[in-house]
Amino acid sequence: METNRQKKIAGIIQQDLAEIMQEALRESHRGVIISVTKVRVSSDLGEAKVYISVFPTQHREAVVEETIKHSHLIRHKLAQRTRNQLRRVPELHFFVDDSLDYIENIDKALKGDVENPIEHPEILPKRKKI
């Protein structure tokens, strides 16, 4: 269970990371929308799992690879922005948030484009909890 402190720190990180990532990827990936959908901070505040969503999805792999490659620079920029709020910036671990794909697949199924998951729930892929 997350404490209030973890939630507050996660909120600060989420907001600042979204801005940092939009600025950093503006030149290299035009027309791509990147959002930080969730941040989970460990109980010792030393690590943070950052879930990012990329639209359009065909750019997802390139954006995630670039983000992981430059994670130390992103962490440094985050430290500069949060220096008055956080003593120590947690290590950042980036993950893809595929919620939009999952929702889109359900929407297609409900429209009748593919087999109906309500009638056949076994066709839906199993998801990991975030």
User: DSSP class of residue 46?
Assistant: S
> What does residue 48 show for φ and ψ, rounded to 5 degrees?
-135, 130
Q: What's the pLDDT tens digit per position in 86-124?
A: 889 999 999 988 877 778 777 877 777 777 667 777 776
Instruction: Tell me the pLDDT band of 128, cut-offs 50, 70 and 90.
Output: low
Same structural domain, 86 and 126: no
pTM: 0.78
Burial (CB < 10 A; 0-12, 13-18, 19+), residue 22, is middle
Same structural domain, 83 and 127: no
Distances, alpha carbon 118 to alpha carbons 97, 101, 106, 127, in Å:
24, 18, 9, 16
User: DSSP class of residue 32?
Assistant: -
Q: What's the pLDDT tens digit per position in 7-20?
A: 999 999 999 999 99
**Domain residue limits at 53:** 4-97
Which of helix, strand or coil describes residue 1?
coil
> What tokens were used for 25?
């990827």
Same structural domain, 70 and 115: no
Same structural domain, 76 and 23: yes
Same structural domain, 49 and 21: yes
Length of the chain in terms of residues written: 130
